[in-house]
Amino acid sequence: DVCGNVELTPMAIAAGRRLADRLFSANTDHAYAKVSYDNVPTVVFSHPPIGTIGLTENEAIEKYGEESVKVYTSKFSNLFYGPFQIDPSEKPKTCMKLVCAGQSEQVVGLHVIGMAADELLQGFGVAMKMGATKADFDSCIAIHPTAAEEFVTLFPWGLSSQETGAKVSPLNGNEAPSPDL
């Protein structure tokens, strides 16, 4: 599982499944099944965990140009630590970054360090594979109290171009949609 573009066990499993579909499936839809190596969620199971998917801010600027990239950030103490009788400055922080590109502000990078980063990344990975925009994130109703709600309420909220990114299927190795520059 370390011989490809993304050196992760789940990536190797997905590639093997698509290969088996292509070679052995009687379903003609599987004849060209391929795995996509774009926007693969990755987590470092540290304390706190770190999660990342897509481009970094610098990679997005290099790819799309500084004028086409908008970045949203947040730093907060997870509500889990609310009842702890310690000074707020000593409570562990969660940091989040949403990297958007193009006029539609398509989400091209999502990064988080803090409690539950590993769990919340999976759902946002699906959204990014589908080409989600900042407006898509803003339109999602937050689940309170969770750390993930911060990604769907990042300031400024609701001011992005009201365009959805759900236009391209991420199935069969299709490339992730690109922002409209």
Active site residues: 144
Cα–Cα distances in Å, from 59 out to 14, 155, 161?
26, 23, 23
Residue 173 has φ and ψ, to the nearest 5°, of 80, 10
In angstroms, the CA 127 to CA 3 distance is 27
Residue 119 tokens read as: 């769990």
The tally of CA atoms less than 13 A away on the side-chain side of residue 106 is 22
Specify whether the CB–CB gap between 90 and 24 falls below 8 A. Answer: no
Distance (Å, rounded) from C-alpha 161 to C-alpha 156? 12
